[in-house]
Amino acid sequence: MQRRSLPHEPLKRAYHHGNARNALLTAAEDLLERRGAASLSLRQVAERAGLSRQAPYNHFRNKEALLAELAREGYQQLAASLATCRDARGRNALERAAECYIRRAQEAPALFRLMFSRELVDLARFPEAAQAAAAAFETLKQIVSSCAPADRVTALSLAAWSLVHGYACLCIEVALEPSDHRAERARLFARIIRSAAATSDARP
C-alpha cells in the first residue's frame, strides 16, 4: 500500500479537516506495520489519530471491518502497481510485475500478511475487499495474456502468482534472501512462466 504521510504525534486536527475516516486509516496503517494486526486495537487507532475512542465505531463496525478496509486498499494499490507493468514491452512486463509484487511485500510486510490471511479478516464477509483482490488477479492475467495462449492464461496466471507469492512470503517470514536479489528472482520467475507458456505439450 502507498503509505500515507503520518507524523509520530497524534493527528489532533483530524476532525477540523472533516476527514476522520482517513485519519483513522492513516493511523491504522502505521500501527499495523509497527505492531501487527493481532495487537492492533480500535482504541489504539483512535488515540494515534487524535480522535475519541468512539470515533472508529462511527466508520467501522469492529476491528475486522477496519482491517478489511486496509486489505481492500492494499489490493487496490497492488492492482494499480501491476497495471503500470502491463504497458511494458513484451518480455519485460512479467519481470516488472514480479519485482513489483515482491517489493510491496518487503516494504509493507504486515499489510501483506493481512491481505492474504483469513485468521483476522475473512474477505468473504467483505465483498468490496474480495472484489479488489479479484481485480488484482485480473490485472495479472492481462499481463500474462501477452505471452500465453488464451486458453492457458488463467492457469499460468495462477502459477505465476503462486511462484512470486511463495517467494515473497519466504523473504518476509524467514528472511530467505535480502532485497537486492529481488530483480534477479523476478527475471527467473518470468522465464519459468514464459517457458511454460511456450511448451505446447505441458498443458495444466
Domain count along the chain: 2
When pLDDT is cut at 50, 70 and 90, the band that residue 16 belongs to is very low
Q: Are residues 125 and 90 in the same domain?
A: yes
> Residue 22: is its pLDDT beyond 50?
yes
Nearest-10 crossing angle of helices 42-49, 20-35: 120
The three-class DSSP label of residue 12 is: coil
This prediction's pTM:
0.87
**Domain at 146, CATH number:** 1.10.357.10
Select from 149, 137, 141, 133 the least CA-distant residue to 94. 141
Mean residue pLDDT across the chain:
89
- The predicted pLDDT at position 7 comes to 46
Task: Please indicate, yes or no, if residue 125 is contained in any of the structural domains.
Answer: yes
> Residue 32: is its pLDDT beyond 50?
yes
Task: Please indicate, yes or no, if residue 29 is contained in any of the structural domains.
Answer: yes
Q: Which of 27, 60, 93 is the last residue of a domain?
A: 60
Q: Which domain holds residue 33?
A: 1-60
**Domain at 30, CATH number:** 1.10.10.60
- The predicted pLDDT at position 11 comes to 47
Q: Are residues 51 and 128 in the same domain?
A: no
Q: Are residues 44 and 99 in the same domain?
A: no
> Residue 42: is its pLDDT beyond 80?
yes
Q: Are residues 104 and 55 in the same domain?
A: no
What is the tens place of the pLDDT at every residue in 132-175?
999 999 999 999 998 899 999 999 999 999 999 999 999 999 99
What is the tens place of the pLDDT at every residue in 110-123?
999 999 998 889 99
Task: Please indicate, yes or no, if residue 68 is contained in any of the structural domains.
Answer: no
What is the tens place of the pLDDT at every residue in 56-111?
999 999 999 999 999 999 999 999 999 998 776 656 899 999 999 999 999 999 99
Q: Are residues 84 and 55 in the same domain?
A: no
Q: Are residues 125 and 183 in the same domain?
A: yes
Give the C-alpha separation, 183 to 31, whole Å: 29
